[in-house]
Structure formats: C-alpha cells, structure tokens
Structure 1
Amino acid sequence: MRYAKYAACMISCLVLITIFSSFSNRDSNIINGFVRDAVTQQPIEAASVSIEGSRTSTLTLKDGSFRIEIASTKAVLRISSTGFTTQSITVLASGRVLNINLQPIRNVKQQPSSNRLEEVAVADNGRARQQPSVALQGSVAGIAVRNNTGRNKKYFTTEHNTEEYDGITENRFHDVLQSPLSTFSIDVDAASYSNVRRFLNHGQLPPAGAVRTEELINYFNYDYPQPKGEVPFSINAEYGPCPWNPEHQLLSIGLQGKTIPVDNLPASNLVFLIDVSGSMMSEEKLPLVKSSMKLLTDQLREQDKVAIVVYAGSAGQVLGSTSGADKRKIKDAIDALEAGGSTAGGAGIKLAYKIARESFMLEGNNRVILCTDGDFNVGVSSNAAMEKLVEEERGDGIFLTVLGYGMGNYKDSRMQILADKGNGNHAYIDGMSEAKKVLVNEFGGTLFTIAKDVKLQVEFNPVNVRAYRLIGYENRLLNKEDFNNDKKDAGDMGSGHTVTALYEIIPAGVHNKFTDSVDALKYQPKQKATTGASNEMLTVKVRYKSPRGNKSMLTDMVVRKHNSRRDLSANWKFSAAVACWGMLLNNSGFIQQADHAKVLELAQQATGADPEGYRAEFIRLVKKSQALSAGRNKDAAAEILTRE
C-alpha cells in the first residue's frame, strides 16, 4: 500500500512537471518585437509578421509591437508593410525582443528582379486553373519595365504613369437672390484622402483631379450626437468667421448616422470580387488585397455568408457561399489566389451580382465587395459601359463596395463611377493600417447601409446671406428639381457614418469681388430681399429612403442667425482645417488668405483625444505638403518627419 501511494505521488509529480514544461516551452517559443521605419524610427502599425512555411501570422499594433509563437528557434520571420522593403530574419534564440527596421522603398536603390506572372483562368466547372507563366522583368512602385509574350498572350505594363482622374471644375459663389437653393447628393467616400497620402508619402504632390475636398473632410469622424426618433441620422449645423476671410462665414452641416452594434447588424450575404489580372501583381495590390480580405473575414459571424469570384482574362467562382464561421476555408481560398493575364472586369461584375442574387437574404445585407486597381481592358471596360452595367445590376437590393489598390495605373475615375452608380462606397487602401480602418474600425459603416439615396438641399435667406459657395462635392451636384425626384439616384449612408459639408457664406451687406462684378439684369425687375424670417440664416432639408424602400422621406432644420461670437467646436475647427488644406492642394481660385500655417493652427487646436492617431497623421501630411509646395524635394519632406 505504501509503495502504491508512493507511485501515485510520483505520477502526479510527473504530470505536473510535464504540464509546467509545456507552458514553459510555450512561453519560451514566444517572440516579441517592434517594427519601425528605418529612416524616421516611427512605429509601423499593421505590418505583417509571418512565419515562412506556415500559416502563422500577426499584425503589429499601433506602437509597432508584435507577439508571435514559433515552433522552433530556427524559424524564419517575414516582415512586410506596403511602402517598405520586405525583410526576412532567422530567429536564433527565443525570449529576446526583436527590433526590426524596414527601409522605405523610396530610399532603396531598386535592382532588376524577375517575377513570375501567372494567369488565373476558370474552367467550365468553375474551378480556377493555372495558365503557363511568363517572366516579367522588374517593377518599381507598380510600374513595370518590359513587355513579354507567351502562348500568343501578351502581358505588359507601361513605363509611364497611366493613372486616371476626372477633372474638377471648382464650385463658384452663387448670388442668393438668383439661386437660393443648393442641392447635392451626400458622399461618405474617403478614397481621395488615402490616395493623397500615398502621393505625399512618395515625395510628390497629388495630381489634378486626385484631390476631392469633401472626401478629405469625410475621412475623419466627427463628434456629432446620435439621432433620436425614427430618422436614422441627426442633422447638425454650426457657423463662424471663415478662417481664410474673416469677413465671410463658414457654415458646417453634419449628419450623424445611427450606430448599430455589430452584434445587432443583420446577416450579410457577401461576394468578394477580386481582380487577379496581371496588373495586380505588385506588393501593394493583390498581396495587400489578400491581407485585407482576411482581416474582413475575421470580423464575420456564423450567420454571415461569403462567396469569392475572381477575374483575369475571364471570370469564375473559386468559393461557393460559405459561413463566416468557417474562416479557415475562406482564408485558404484567398491564399490560393495568384495574379496574371488581362482584365475582364465587366464579366467579373456580372458573375458577382449573379452569385449574390442566388444567395440573396431578404432581411440581410447583400453586397459585392470589389477589390481592383480599376484597369479593365477586356469586354465591357469603358467608363460609360461600366456605368450602364452597374446601373442595371443595382436594382435588386445588392449594394457595392469598391476598394481601390495600387499605383502607376490606378483608375480613380472608374472607381468613382462604380461606387456612385452601384449604391455603394469607395475607399483607397494604401496599406494594412487603412485596411484596418475601413474593414475593422468602420466595419458597420462600410458594409451596412442605414439610408440610401440621401440628398441634401439648403435654402439660403437673402435677408442674411448675400452669396454662398459649397466646398467640394463638385461631382455630386444635383439640379434643384432632383431633390423631390425619387427616381434620381444619390449617396448612401452606413451605420455610424458621419457626413460633413462646408459652405463659405458672404453675409448680406458685405461687398466682394466674387459677385459684385455681375451686371444688373436688363429684362426683369431688380429683386430685393424680403424682411420675413429675419432671424433665419437658412433651412437644411434632407431626403432619404430606407435601405429597401423606393419612396423618400423628408426631414429638415432651421439655422438661425446669432450675433455673439460663440466658441466654435473641435468639429468645426478640424473640418475647416481640412477644407483649407484641400483648397491649397487644388490651388483653388478661392484661397484668399489661406496658407499652411492657418491649416496647422486650426488642426492643432482640434486634435482632441485622437485614439487612432488619424488627426496627428493629418498634421504630418500637411507639413509634408508644405515642404513640397515650397519647392523642396522628397528628402526635405522626409527630414520634416524625422525631426518630429
């Protein structure tokens, strides 16, 4: 009996030692580290840290830190982030902290490299198959350097920049007596901001057409109150002296969409429509798309469904509708994608909508998520043809989210058309940090619509307002008759979204060069302002439809005149700073007394808590554009950041 008790005791001790050893070994195989920019020593958020030869990976946090478990001390870590060279290191010992510095691409002398270019074609059974590969010699920042052929198929990219942007004709001042109504469709897109950031981070000012001021403003969230009652958004208005002309007023109109907790959101029927053509080869395109879609996959619930459609020379389905609970299956399908071939974007869109209809959820969120650089060149491909195609497909209650990637051949104008005509939204993903913002932090707003065809109309009172100018929204302007026309398409608003619009107002009685130069009308009596409603500045009216409705509803608010100089909110100051910056980037004809110093002064007063660091980043970008605008080169701009 004594020996039996002794043996039992020994067995218990061995079990405890084994358990302790397993935990100890597990802890000893944990690698901690930090990833930083080698030039500025700033932390790199959302850099990918993976173990070569395995599916284990993680993303760095805001401070650049990461924690990853390895199977052995001979593991090779691969660290990558868009805009930086990828680095691989062999872990020789565990338990120590790794400090990893990634070189920005702009500071690395590019060497010719040989990449494999694979075309994804789709067989009759709908399963992807690989076509013969062709060598493509070297590419820098998405611009390849040589043409190649193979099996009578030609693959090429150009040596020059072929990015496409629609021109912008800046809104002018309107005399209230002649044009008292201002009407436009809301816009919750923010693609222009991240695209502008991409240009600045590569040491150059953005081209004409790339800067849409309303998208710069709406990149940021503002602290507006949640709506009360049945209307799915609140209306907020505030005005004060215009920062770039104190004789004028600057009016801010903000809508705050109702925030629906993720757990209460309706089930989703999603189709990932992924461009796998040859133009998507570079690191900031398909590899970033794959990482982005895996981030989104992590947000899905069991009741959500995902199918995957790809297109290159043709289009096909590579994953049938799959529960969000089966994340490994979805991620395996994403990991298997390779790039190559021409771009049949129209065929891909048609197939994606067809599959979305087959899995349609009556009470759910039905949406196609398109990931592309927009460089369509096979079949339906012109802007006009794509517009017609999307308009035909959108009528079944299926919304469209357009995520843009890449540089060198990015078709911004086409992405705008697809999002606008597809009852959707448009974001430009320039790195994993932006993917996290759009697909994780703003998950509900990006994917779940609370109001569609949202139109805003402002009626100005000539007693108090001489003239007005809407800042931005040039491609969203509507005729005054469109406001009450329910057949006229307009913008959509997602859960928790904010929408901000700014008007520069010339008060009644203030002389100005913008409207005083117009001759008096000859064939009609001179109009005069009435004295009615003398304490009102303007009335804001908003029309909207429910996500599945066809008849619009109306809500409004009156903005009254105030004489006292009120304290202006952080919302007003920061949106004014962004608007002012947009005018400087666009070399606006209405700059007046605006300059970068004014932008920085306003922004620094309104940074607030800034938990994600977006407003602090804005200040850094303003300093970069200030350096570049002064004629300095990209190294001077980088030096500004280094000194911070």
Structure 2
Amino acid sequence: MMVLGVTSKKFTSSQRTLPDKPLTNPAKQEIIMKPRFITLVCLLLFALVADAQYYFRGEVKDAAGVGLALVRIRVHSSNSFYQSGSTGGFGLPSAKVSDTVSFFLHGYDEKTVVLSSNEFNTVELKPSSAISNPKRKLISVTKDKVQERNSFGIANGETYSEQIENSFNYAAEYPSVGFALNVDKASYSNIRRFINMKSAVPKDAVRIEEMLNYFPQRYKAPELGKEFYTESQLTDCPWNPMDRLLFLQLHARKINYDSLPPSNFVFLVDVSGSMDLPNRLPLLQTALRMMVQNLRAIDTMAIMVYGGTVGTVLQPTGGNEKEKIMKVIDSLAAGGDTPGEAAIRQAYRLAQSQFIKGGNNRVILATDGDFNVGESSEEALMQLITQKQQTGIYLTCLGVGMGNYKDSKLEVLAKKGNGNFAYLDNIPEAEKVLVKELMQTLYVVVDDAYLNASFNARQIKKYRLIGFDNRKDVLADSASILEGGEIGTGHIVTAVFEVEMNSPYNTEEELATAELGYQTVNTKEKQTETYRLTNNYKSLYTVDSNYRFSAAVAMFGLMLKQSPYLKVYSWESLINLLNTCVNSNDYWQQEMLQLVIKAKEIYKPVKERRRWFTKKKKAKEEIILF
C-alpha cells in the first residue's frame, strides 16, 4: 500500500531556547541563526501537519473485487493528486475528517465519493464502454471506403482468423490508407511448419506483414532525438510488370543493452494435457532455459502454470538466481484441462504485485491456445485483455503445437494486450525469438504506433497495401476502430504498396506523404512525424538487394494466399528472383529459398505432381536393383 501520511511532533515555547543577550561575534551569530532556522522549519512543518491532520485509508477495486493499481486519485479540498499501490491500496492525507475524492483510471468510469477518516474505505470502479463492449481492432483502413466482406476457409483442427485481402483504391477517390505497426512474426514460422510437413498452408495463416517482419535487415540509426529512421524506394513489381512497388521502411531507435530498464517478467506456461508432445512443453522449456541466461540481476522472473489447476511454481526471483529458476523450468510436466482465462487473470495479478514504475512489466503466455475451461471464446478473451491492458503491463504470446493450435485466439490476445506474438516451431526459432531478438521481442520503445499514407493522384492512379489484411469479423463490426501497435527496440518495419502510375508523371513531384503517429512509452505523449515519399525509381535488379528480397517475401505470401492480384508469376520465377538477392551468409534468407523450393513441389498441379512422384519412385527402384 502506498503510504502518503505525514506525522510530526508539536513544539511548545518552553522547548525553544534563545540566548538572553545578543551576540556580536560572527561565530556566535551563526550559533544563534541555526536554532532560529530550525525553529522556522519546525513551524512550517507544523502548519503543513495542521492542514493534513486526517488520513483516509482504503482500496480501489474492479467489479470482480480485484485491486486496481496506478489509479489516479484527487483529494478535492487540497487539489492534491496521488496513486493507488500495486494491489489497489491507498492512503490520503486531508485537513478534513471527511473529504470528496475522485478516482481516475483509463478504461474505467470516473468515480467521485466522500471518504471518511474513521473507517476503511472500499471504492469500486466500473469499466467504461471501451472495456465492457470493446471495439474490434482494425489493422488497416481506407478512409471513407466501404470494405468488402468475402471469406476464406478454415484449416481443420486449427483455427485462423478469416481475412479480407486489401484491394486497389483509386488515389483520386480514396487518397489515404492507415495501418497499425507491430513486431509480430508468428505467421512465417507457422508457414514453415506446414511446408516442412509437406502440407499446403491455410490461406488465413498467411499474414504478409509478419513475413516481412521476420527477416533481420541492415539497421540504420535514427537522428539524435528521433525515434525512427525512415526511407522509401520505388521499384518494379515482379508479379505485375505494369505496376510498381513502393516500399517504406522504418527503423526504430535501438536502446543500449546496459540502459534497458529493469524487467518484471511473469511467464504463464500451459502444462495441460494437450502440451504433452515434444514440439510443445519440452520446446518451451528449452526456450525458457535459453532466455534465462540473458536475465540481469535487476530483472525478476516468475513462473505460473495452468493445467487442471492454476498455480505459481516460481515466485518473483532475481535474474542472478539462475540455478533456482532452471530447476523450476526442468520440473514442469504436462497434464489436465486448460483453464486459460483464470490463469491469465492470476498472471496479471502477480505481475501487478511486482509492478516496476518506469520498468518493463510483461506477462508472457506460452501455449497452443486451446483453452477449454472458463471463458474461452475470442469475444470473452478480448474483453478480459482489454481490461488488463489498462494496468500498464504488456502481453507477449508464444504459440506452439499443431492440430489443435488456436492461432486466432493468440492473435486476439496479443493485439488487444499491447503486446506481440511469435510462433515457435523448433529450437532455432526459440533461440531467435528469446535470445537473438530478445530486445525487439520484449522491450518496447513506442506504443500505439500507426502510419497514414496519402497518395498524390497526379502521380499515382491506383494503389494497394500489401499485407495488413483485416479479419472478416472486424470489418463486419461497424464499431471497429484503427488502433496502433507496439514497436520493440531496434525493430525494422517494412510496408509495401503496389501502385499503378499515371503516365506521363512528374519525377520531381512526390508520390505520397506518410504521417507516423505514436506515443512514447514513459511520458505517453502523442507524437507525429511526416515524411515525403519521392520518385526515386530503380529497376528491380539494380535496387538494393534488401528491397529485392522483401519483394520476393511479399510474392511468396501472395502465392501461398493464391491472391487474385497475381498476374504473371510462377514458382520458377520466384526462385530465380531469390537467387539474385539471398545473402549466402544469412541463415534465414537461405532457409527461405529452400522453403520456396519445397513449396513448389507441394503446390504443383495434381497431374504434374503425380508424374514427379512416379518418376522419383522409379528412380529409387532402379537404385535398389542396381
């Protein structure tokens, strides 16, 4: 509980002693001045205490009886402001035996009550309509345009949010498009899992912006005092020779490792029966062991588990006690049902009890997403996380598993919980997310980041945002709004537009302007920056290889989605493009080339695939006979 009371001792005239005669010696005068100064300070303190001789104790809770931290509290008589503690407790000084007090917390209705100093006060805040009826979150939106609402199929056994692919807009009619920025990368590693299993990828599992996020690129630092470095590039479109691709890259400020704030991590690990497979709980244990090696003494880590019951197996423990943490990780075992909703509530409560003001406070949920006890619908989970995000605690979701993997639920949780989302399909991926890219994954530099691009109709006839496709149910909800995302330290966001140019066009005139909006993590002040996207056209095979590789990634995603916007394409043309830009020293780029080669065989027409398998089988039989 935050203690804000003041105690003091009253001084009487008999306790204040002054000399009988004036002293003229400077040293003696100093002796006189000291007690006079002390007396003055004591009188001022007495005056302050006289104004605050009463004390209001109590707690502020939500409707479920859970304490609410960091509630802003105003005492009306003195116009003084305070905050509730980590469990919702408060202590308020006042000059009155009873006083009018107001309570404020983002996401809750303001409440004004009269508190009494003679009793323990309990104040309940009710969620505002933003929490009780949370608005769905758009990833992108074209101003004034009514969106299409077609649908795709759902993969058997696994759930994916149905998406609506962004279409072309005429710049003269709809010049502006806005989209949320984030650091999610789950889609690519999930795609890799399907292809390595020699299976076609569900169309709704393909999120091109996450595929672009996945690959490390050459980092360029922003100017001093800036949060982002930005650059744009116009080049050819490999799947439509009549169009161009317009790239916009944003490089987020990188925080020095030694300057990172202390972290309060609460890992919430699914140990239910569905996690009892090598690519689930054992994989998560390996990932956690690797991450623990990077914990600092100033960081704390707690582990909660849910499977049958919910419990804390590791109380908040300093990063210097690695052996203790490792023993708990090694002891985890799977079994039981999946009470995900109750577990999430308790994990936030534990993180809130250890809340570090100005620190990195985060719940990390590791699961296959198969909640089967308590509230399990996406709607109910969205309402729960919308409420919890008000605490200032971020949420990271680590997905694992196959067959019953619930991508749609984890995507909702991550996007509503001011957090991010990754999918772990193997040990190298676990190392990439929680070791090599730990800072990008878990340390945020800006919140609520979005970008609004406005196209110059004199230069651009039509444009289409690639990726950032909205969920079908979000577009169907008339109350949906565009909300920004969270960007991690040193992360590079790549946005791609397919554009049809007007002909002729003026090379001196800008193609578009982009307005970047975000709020700083500590001050929560809203900031905007504006950039000009110029016509700096270079052909696809002379442009920087990073942009050529990004074009190949986007093309790969469109082919997996079987997008109707592909005009001229083939697996051979994609492989040829990759061969011109894949860095031989980059493991992840090399891996994608091999993945595309595997996908080519999976997506061959049925007749061609049968001929290939027959030929391969015949060659194998000949080798055996030989």
Counterparts of 1:635 and 1:496, CA distance in 2: 45
Quote the residue 2:407 is aligned against. 412
**Aligned equivalents of 2:373 and 2:451: distance in 1?**
38
Q: Is the 8 A contact 2:161 2:204 kept in 1?
A: yes
Closer, same or farther in 2 for the Cα pair 1:476/1:224, shift >3 Å? farther
Say if 1:313 and 1:378, in contact at 8 Å, map to a contact too: no
Q: Distance in 2 between matches of 1:448 and 1:563?
A: 35
- Following superposition, the deviation at residue 337 of structure 1 comes to 1.2
Is this contact kept in 2: 1:186–1:476, CA < 8 A? Answer: no
Count of aligned pairs between the two proteins: 452
- CA 1:634/1:334 → structure 2, altered by over 3 Å: closer, same or farther? farther
Q: Which amino acid aligns with 1:362?
A: K
Residue 601 of structure 1, aligned match among 556, 567, 576: 576
* Match runs of 1:93-132 below 5 Å: none
Distance 1:564 1:377 in 2: 53
**One-letter amino acid of the counterpart of residue 546, structure 1:** T
For residues 613 and 328 of structure 2, the distance between their equivalents in structure 1, rounded to whole angstroms, comes to 44
Query: What percent of counterpart residues are identical?
Result: 39
Residue 546 of structure 1 corresponds to 520
Partner of 2:381: 386
**What residue is the counterpart of 1:273 in the other structure?**
268
Q: Is 1:493 paired with 2:468?
A: no
Paired residue for 1:289? Answer: 284
Q: In 2, Cα distance between the equivalents of 1:609 and 1:559? A: 31
Match of 1:580 in 2: 555
CA RMSD of aligned residues (A): 2.5
Say whether 1:299 aligns with 2:274.
Answer: no
Compared CA separation, residues 633 and 391, structure 1 to 2 (3 A):
farther
More deviation, 372-381/625-634: 625-634
1:565 Cα deviation from its structure 2 partner: 5.1
Task: Write out aligned runs for 1:11-22 (5 A).
Answer: none
**Residues 454-481 of structure 1, C-alpha deviation per residue, up to 9 Å, x if partnerless?**
001100000000010001101389x9xx
- Stretch of structure 1 that moved more, 487-496 or 229-238: 487-496
Matching of residue 431 in structure 1 with residue 441 in structure 2 = no
Deviation at 1:633, TM superposition (A): 7.8
Displacement of 1:561: 2.3
1:258 and 2:253 correspond: yes
Shift of residue 395 of structure 1?
A: 1.2
2:496 aligned residue: 502
1:450 paired to 2:424: no
TM-fit CA distance, 1:187: 2.7
**Counterpart code for 1:492:** E
Q: Counterpart of 1:455 in structure 2: which amino acid? A: Y
Match for residue 220 of structure 1 among 186, 204, 215: 215
Gaps of 5+ in 1: 1-159, 480-486, 511-530
* AA aligned opposite 2:597: K
SS of the residue corresponding to residue 361 of structure 2 reads strand
Deviation, 1:379, is: 0.9
The answer to whether the 8 A contact 2:235-2:537 is kept is no
Letter in structure 2 aligned against 1:242: C
* Residue number in structure 2 paired with 1:627: 601
**Partners of 2:584 and 2:590 within 8 A in 1:** no
Change (3 A) 1:634 1:342: farther
Residues 232-253 of structure 1: per-residue CA shift (max 9 Å, x gap)? 2211111112111222110111
Counterparts of 2:611 and 2:342 in 1: how far apart (Å)?
41
2:566 equivalent among 591, 599, 608: 591
- Aligned-pair CA distance for 1:198: 0.4
The TM-score normalised by the length of structure 1 is 0.67
Quick one: which amino acid aligns to residue 617 of structure 1?
E
1:171-200 residue CA offsets vs partner (Å, 9 max, x unmatched)? 100011110001010132111100010011
Displacement, 1:636? 6.1
Question: For residue 499 of structure 1, what is the amino acid of its counterpart?
Answer: V
The 3-state SS of whatever aligns with 1:361 is coil
Instruction: Give the distance between the partners of 1:280 and 1:269, measured in 2 at CA.
Output: 26
Aligned 8 A contact 2:459 2:506 in 1: no
1:451 to 1:509, Cα distance in 2 relative to 1, 3 A: same
1:500 is paired with a residue whose SS is strand
Task: Render the CA deviation track for 1:312-366: whole Å, top value 9, x for unaligned.
Answer: 2331111111001111111111111111111111111111111111111112111
- What is the 5 A alignment of 1:315-394? 315-394=310-389
Which region of structure 1 is more displaced relative to structure 2, 397-406 or 548-557? 548-557
Superposed CA deviations along residues 592-617 of structure 1, whole A, max 9, x for unmatched, are 01222222222222222534x00000
Q: Are residues 1:206 and 2:180 paired?
A: no
Return 556-565 or 324-333, whichever deviates more. 556-565
User: Residue 75 of structure 2 aligns with which residue?
Assistant: none
Alpha-carbon distance in structure 2 between the residues aligned to 1:311 and 1:560: 53
Instruction: Find the residue that maps to 2:569 and give its secondary structure.
Output: coil
Check 1:387–1:563 CA distance in 2 against 1; reply closer, same or farther (3 A cut). Answer: closer
Quickly say closer, same or farther: Cα 1:563–1:398, change in 2 above 3 A. Answer: closer
- Answer yes or no: is the 8 Å Cα contact 1:173–1:468 preserved in 2: yes
Max Rg structure: 2
Is 1:470 the counterpart of 2:444? The answer is no
Unaligned regions of 5+ residues in structure 2, if any? 1-154, 475-480, 621-626
- Secondary structure of the residue aligned to 2:565 is coil
Change (3 A) 1:261 1:366: same
